[in-house]
Structure 1
Amino acid sequence: MQHLNWRHQTKIRDHSAETNLFLRRVLIAFAVLLVMVTILLVTLAHLQIFSYGYYNTKSNKNRIEIIPVPPNRGIIYDRNGIPLAINNTIYQLNITPDKISNLNAQLDELRTLVDLTDEDIENFQKERRGYKAHRPVPLKDNLTQQEIARFVVNQHRFPFVNITGNQHRYYPYGSALTHVLGYVSKINNQDKARLEEEDKLSDYVGTPNIGKIGIERFYEDLLHGTPGYEEVEVNNRGKIVRQLNHNPPLAGEDIYLTIDLNLQLYIQKLLAGRKGAVVAIDPNNGEVLALVSSPSYDPNLFVGGISSAKYKALLEDPDKPLFNRAMLGTYPPASTVKPFIAVSALSEGVITPKTVVSDPGYWQLPGTEKRFRDWLRWGHGKVDVTKSLEESVDTYYYQVAYDLGIDRLYFWMNKFGYGERTGIDISPNEESRGILPSREWKMGRYKQPWLQGDTIPVGIGQGYWTATPVQLAKALTIMVNDGKSYIPHLLKQTRSDLLNEDNFPPSPAAALKVDTTLAGLINEKYWQIAKDGMYKVMFGTRGTARKIYAGSPYKAAGKSGTAQVYGLKADEIYNASQIPEHLRDHALFIAFAPYDKPKIAIAVVLENGGSGSSKGGAFAKRILDYYLLGDDDVKISESILNMRQGD
């Protein structure tokens, strides 16, 4: 019985079922394999055929780099072809920080080879924020030959550090031309924002510097040029293996200025140790021959980035070397305005060539006890318009100002360019308008109405009136040209212009546009009356500057001005030796020469320099002598330099 049960419980294998199961598994495995092979083939087709261009580009980006090549900046020359701003090759240490695991340790090692200061490291950390990942960042500029040699020997220790040669702006005449040329310096966030707004940012890829002030900024578009690029193959360490393509940059335009370098240097030498400014213009076309502000500073300090300590020293210098006195300095024009007021009064019929005023040494405002004093306490006696200029008679112009009134004074003086920028080719924020007072101006500034007493000092260029040296020079050229006005300008031509001409062509057409409005408003004989009076300032028997110009081999005309820094009390006598230097009078002088065929017109301002006729006049004569005679050693006796003789 038990035997029967055992046989009943034993299963017999079903080979047919097992074979079917095996076949099903093989088919499933084959199907899975087929699907996987299909997916692989589709993926390969996608990568190799349909997406070839995309992945090929990505591959090339890992292997190929586009390196921007900055253009050489245009050279700046003076009118005679002497280079004033050039490009020197300097060597720069660059590091790719993103590829270095321990950057601080690498920097410490580099300190043993090159003179890396804490400020260099600080600047580097600031710079790297503006650079794309895996791009080399400048670490130190202007490496010495010794530093280069030490690094080259040890370069195998620094796979992600290299040295490159770059163009570096250099100003060979240092501080002599800073307030004309300005300077270039590192592009900051404000520059980037402005360039982006002007859609020019792409032109500055790879360019570290941009013009900040002066000619460098105003003519930035001319000087900068167009960048190029290099297409290079790099290895896994980012080092260049070979060059694949090269598109050269287009250098910036070389430009020639109207500046006469020798005259500029001579004036700077005369101004050494003084605070002041001189502007010299060719009255025949408005070309600026010299524009000097003293003291000045070396623009080369800013090119590679000025240190905090040096910049602070410049900012805190009490003589303010950063301040462009020729363009931004505003001073009472004083008696230099008398010729222009005389012409205006003649045109308005307020005076005639024969009008005579009696000068007792003061002028009294009608209906009041207020007296305005003349510089000569006992007066000049009977004075006509020519004598009023020759002897600089204040009382004559008090009366003229009273008769003209502030509205007509404003109208005419504005025609001579006062109260407006001159239009010189420097950025508008680098030139002051000065102040030409009017009723509207006083109400806007002080919320007070104009008073009759406010008008009187305006007649001698005092009161609220202030002007810049470049305004004084422009107004003088208008006088020289009998009312024709040229815009003062510093650009003479570009190299492209020069290559198209055998000789220097005329000044730029835009600058030579002549405004003849004033010439049409004033009778020609009135211009001559004013200029005759200015001639007698220097060569008349009673001229305020006659002693200085006695025996001069050329004839000239001019007008002095002594600008008060503070008002004297009714019974106070001015004594320069008893007051602090910063409260002493400013000395001003305007002049042109030769008288018959003028070649030069100058405006001189000596801050706290004293008498306009003696100090200013003597200073102007040395400049005229140098320019017209080539005399660089004019001797002025101390008695003449120290005399106080009117304005």
Structure 2
Amino acid sequence: MLKDRVQMRDHSAEGGLFFRRTLVAFIGMLVLMVVLFGNLYYLQILSFDTYQTRSNDNRIRVVPVAPTRGLIYDTNGVLLAENRPVYSLEIVPEEAGDVAKMADDLVALLELPPGTKEKFLAETKRQRRFKPVALYEKLSEKQVAIFSLNQYRYPGASIEAYLKRYYPFGDTLTHALGYVSKINTKDLERLDADGKLSNYAASKDIGKQGVEKYYEDVLHGTTGYQEVEVNNRGRIVRTLKFLPPIPGKDIYLNIDIRLQLRAQQLLAGRRGAVIMVDPKTGAILAMESSPSYDPNLFVNGISGPDYSGLLNDPARPLVNRTTQGIYAPASTVKPMMSVMGLNEGAITPTYRYFGGPTFSIPGTTKKFRDWKKWGHGWLDVYRAIEVSADTYFYDLAYRVGIDRINEYMTKFGFGQYSGVDIYEETKGVMPSREWKRKRWHQAWFQGDTISIGIGQGYWSATPIQLARGISILTQNGHDVTPHLLKRTTTATSSQDAPVNPNMALQVKDDNYWKVAREGMWRVINGHEGTGRRAFANTPYVAAGKSGTAQVIGLKENQTYNAHAIKEEHRDNALFVSFAPYEDPKAVIALVLENAGGGSVNAAPVARAMFDALLLPPEPQLPPAPPRKPAYEQMAQEKQP
């Protein structure tokens, strides 16, 4: 009977259990809904501004736009540095299909250099497929024409034009202009430290040398930008806003390209430097360093072999000899030494000294030889400069001493930066007791002073320092900074480069300047002058001073023989001059390395430069009319 009993369900208990479960589920759902709506409130109400900005960042991008670099002109408006279009063949991989095959076809069609395809494929892996990648960036006009005829065969490929720096005069102005080249890591670090990095967001090039580097901020301009809308893949959909870039300012230099070309012609095949300066303003009219190199090699990135060739060239074409070349100034400093002697009372305009073949410090036996084997006899300061008598200036240096020499010659600009507006400059050496102690850990000896008296020994200078020193001499002690910049221009304004003359050296009597200048006048116009042959029959009156600087020392009884020593050990030829004599328009300083005597080799170069400046240019004959073919001429003669 018990087995047949039926089990009854407790519906009341099951109903209570269901209710409790339902209540828990409802509460859980309610909590989740509260959390959901709370989060929605936080995202859409409380954090609306934050997420709206993030959304716009994903939708809107700011694309920088590079400014056009300013142009460079010479003093007469001749273009020295311009921006030329460069044609780049670019491919959008997404539209090209088989990129490798297209690259092969284009390399064969346009005869592109080996390795072009490999560089292109490597670059496509680093870029998104919808962005264009350059296959080759320096297409010739012929290659552009060939591609244009076949473009329909290459979907996704196109030619884009960019502006690149170009120097139409090639190696004529390299050391003055410098060049632009690709921005490297060091440039980025420097720009970041100077707070200028953002202004180069779209720029690929920057000034590296010369005027291009010194006036980079003027030439570069200000970067613009455009706001563009992009889709979720980063593709540009439309342009929302455009702020155009501000182009760089054009600049005009004091350099006259006609004089520069003449200087290059005169120095062709020789190692040396010529600089021509207006002594009244400091304007640099010509600045040639030889040999030079073509700056266009660096604009698109110079090849390893080409750079190695320039770097290892024994003629050192990369060095700007006008501002970095270090040479013993030799006898070119004798006029300035004369001003010092007159102002210190060590000599007078009428003081006479007997110049024998040698000079010895009293109480010693060492002999310092004059360049003339038998000496010059009786000398006053005028004749001492005219014939460049060494013994006269040995004696002057001995009696004045190194301390005074250093004081005066420093005021003439030696051992100092000239202030020229390029960064490539060295100071040379204006020796002193302290300098020798620091450099050689030795005391200064009287014998050291004797060689300084004729611009030898420890004394070294650059051509621009010589030009500055002679400029001070012509201006009675007033100094102006040598500078290349004449003015800058924009579309609405122009500004002249400032000229601020200052008193470099003040003497007791201005007649002392005239004495030194008259001595230089006799160098060219006197019957014993060392430069009289080079300047014979000039229609203008000039003044100058030659110098012959020893490169190696000679023993006391050794005779200099240029043919018996290596070329790099031969004397350097120097010459400094100004013209016209009464109202100088230019000062010239030049050096020819290992060329020998300054009066024979360097003076004719100075003469040619003054001729180019002061004399009217030779008339250019009109081109001959084209000659008719013989059969046309015969036919014309037969006509009645």
Structure-1-length-normalised TM-score: 0.87
2:510 matched to 1:514?
no
Q: CA deviation at 1:7?
A: 3.4
Residue pair 1:357, 1:383 contacting (<8 A) in 2 also: yes
Structure 1 residues 370 and 623, CA gap change in structure 2 (3 angstroms)? same
Alignment map for 1:364-403 (pairs within 5 Å): 364-403=360-399
Structure 1 residues 186 and 452, CA gap change in structure 2 (3 angstroms)? same
Q: Which residue number corresponds to residue 563 of structure 1? A: 549
Tell me the amino acid that sits aligned with residue 4 of structure 2: R
Residue pair 1:332, 1:462 contacting (<8 A) in 2 also: yes
Alignment map for 1:7-18 (pairs within 5 Å): 7-8=4-5, 10-18=6-14
Residues 421-470 of structure 1 show CA distances to partners (whole Å, capped at 9, x for unaligned) of: 1111112xx11111111111111111111111111111111111110000
Residue pair 1:288, 1:489 contacting (<8 A) in 2 also: yes
Q: Which residue number corresponds to residue 227 of structure 1? A: 223
Between the aligned partners of 2:512 and 2:121, the Cα distance in structure 1 is: 65
Q: Which residue number corresponds to residue 342 of structure 1? A: 338
Residue pair 1:124, 1:137 contacting (<8 A) in 2 also: no
Q: CA deviation at 1:521?
A: 2.3
Residue pair 2:120, 2:134 contacting (<8 A) in 1 also: no
Between the aligned partners of 2:310 and 2:152, the Cα distance in structure 1 is: 40
Residues 371-427 of structure 1 show CA distances to partners (whole Å, capped at 9, x for unaligned) of: 111111112111111001111111111111111111111111111111111111112
Q: CA deviation at 1:615?
A: 0.7
Q: CA deviation at 1:92?
A: 3.9
Alignment map for 1:621-636 (pairs within 5 Å): 621-631=607-617
Alignment map for 1:427-466 (pairs within 5 Å): 427=423, 430-466=424-460
- Residue aligned with 1:365, SS: coil
2:572 matched to 1:586?
yes
Residues 526-549 of structure 1 show CA distances to partners (whole Å, capped at 9, x for unaligned) of: 111111110111111111111221
Q: CA deviation at 1:141?
A: 2.9
Structure 1 residues 352 and 215, CA gap change in structure 2 (3 angstroms)? same
Structure-2-length-normalised TM-score: 0.88
Tell me the amino acid that sits aligned with residue 345 of structure 1: G
Q: CA deviation at 1:500?
A: 4.4
Q: Which residue number corresponds to residue 637 of structure 1? A: none
Alignment map for 1:179-578 (pairs within 5 Å): 179-427=175-423, 430-496=424-490, 499-500=492-493, 507-509=496-498, 512-518=499-505, 520-578=506-564
Residue pair 1:128, 1:137 contacting (<8 A) in 2 also: no
Between the aligned partners of 1:294 and 1:126, the Cα distance in structure 2 is: 40
- Residue aligned with 2:556, SS: coil
Residues 37-94 of structure 1 show CA distances to partners (whole Å, capped at 9, x for unaligned) of: 4444444444444444434433333333221101111111111111211112223466
Residue pair 1:258, 1:492 contacting (<8 A) in 2 also: yes
- Residue aligned with 1:352, SS: coil
Between the aligned partners of 1:581 and 1:310, the Cα distance in structure 2 is: 26
Residue pair 1:141, 1:304 contacting (<8 A) in 2 also: no
Q: CA deviation at 1:262?
A: 1.1
Tell me the amino acid that sits aligned with residue 311 of structure 1: Y
Q: CA deviation at 1:156?
A: 4.2
Between the aligned partners of 2:585 and 2:537, the Cα distance in structure 1 is: 20
Between the aligned partners of 2:217 and 2:120, the Cα distance in structure 1 is: 27
Between the aligned partners of 2:295 and 2:121, the Cα distance in structure 1 is: 22
Between the aligned partners of 1:336 and 1:119, the Cα distance in structure 2 is: 56
Between the aligned partners of 2:288 and 2:345, the Cα distance in structure 1 is: 39
Tell me the amino acid that sits aligned with residue 557 of structure 1: A
Between the aligned partners of 1:30 and 1:611, the Cα distance in structure 2 is: 111
Alignment map for 1:28-39 (pairs within 5 Å): 28-39=24-35
Q: CA deviation at 1:143?
A: 3.5
Between the aligned partners of 2:248 and 2:290, the Cα distance in structure 1 is: 31
Q: Which residue number corresponds to residue 638 of structure 2? A: none
Q: In structure 2, list runs of 5 or more residues that go unmatched.
A: 620-640
Residue pair 2:273, 2:322 contacting (<8 A) in 1 also: yes
Q: In structure 1, list runs of 5 or more residues that go unmatched.
A: 634-647
Tell me the amino acid that sits aligned with residue 357 of structure 1: Y
RMSD: 3.2
Between the aligned partners of 1:441 and 1:53, the Cα distance in structure 2 is: 67
Between the aligned partners of 1:632 and 1:459, the Cα distance in structure 2 is: 43
Residue pair 1:626, 1:632 contacting (<8 A) in 2 also: no
- Residue aligned with 1:573, SS: coil
2:600 matched to 1:614?
yes
Structure 1 residues 315 and 622, CA gap change in structure 2 (3 angstroms)? same
Between the aligned partners of 1:388 and 1:295, the Cα distance in structure 2 is: 35
Structure 1 residues 180 and 125, CA gap change in structure 2 (3 angstroms)? farther
2:3 matched to 1:6?
yes
Residue pair 2:123, 2:133 contacting (<8 A) in 1 also: no
Residues 128-156 of structure 1 show CA distances to partners (whole Å, capped at 9, x for unaligned) of: 99x99998776753334536649955664
Q: CA deviation at 1:492?
A: 1.1
Between the aligned partners of 2:388 and 2:182, the Cα distance in structure 1 is: 51
Residue pair 1:276, 1:325 contacting (<8 A) in 2 also: yes
Between the aligned partners of 1:331 and 1:630, the Cα distance in structure 2 is: 34
Q: Which residue number corresponds to residue 581 of structure 2? A: 595
- Residue aligned with 2:173, SS: helix
- Residue aligned with 2:208, SS: strand
Residue pair 2:88, 2:139 contacting (<8 A) in 1 also: yes
Between the aligned partners of 1:123 and 1:269, the Cα distance in structure 2 is: 43
2:86 matched to 1:90?
yes
Residue pair 2:95, 2:156 contacting (<8 A) in 1 also: no
Tell me the amino acid that sits aligned with residue 379 of structure 1: G
Structure 1 residues 424 and 57, CA gap change in structure 2 (3 angstroms)? same
Between the aligned partners of 1:150 and 1:232, the Cα distance in structure 2 is: 33
Structure 1 residues 238 and 553, CA gap change in structure 2 (3 angstroms)? same
Between the aligned partners of 1:218 and 1:120, the Cα distance in structure 2 is: 38
Q: Which residue number corresponds to residue 636 of structure 1? A: none
Residue pair 1:124, 1:138 contacting (<8 A) in 2 also: no
Q: CA deviation at 1:365?
A: 2.3
Tell me the amino acid that sits aligned with residue 248 of structure 2: G
Between the aligned partners of 1:481 and 1:116, the Cα distance in structure 2 is: 58
Tell me the amino acid that sits aligned with residue 573 of structure 1: T
Residues 471-520 of structure 1 show CA distances to partners (whole Å, capped at 9, x for unaligned) of: 00000100111111111111111104x9547xxx7x523xx2222141x3
Mean CA deviation greater in 395-404 or 111-120: 111-120
Residue pair 2:91, 2:156 contacting (<8 A) in 1 also: no
- Residue aligned with 2:368, SS: strand
Residue pair 2:415, 2:461 contacting (<8 A) in 1 also: yes
Structure 1 residues 199 and 137, CA gap change in structure 2 (3 angstroms)? farther
Mean CA deviation greater in 378-387 or 114-123: 114-123
Structure 1 residues 238 and 102, CA gap change in structure 2 (3 angstroms)? farther
- Residue aligned with 2:478, SS: coil
Q: CA deviation at 1:369?
A: 1.6
Q: Which residue number corresponds to residue 632 of structure 2? A: none
Structure 1 residues 105 and 199, CA gap change in structure 2 (3 angstroms)? farther
Q: CA deviation at 1:623?
A: 0.6
- The percent of aligned pairs where both chains have the same amino acid is 48
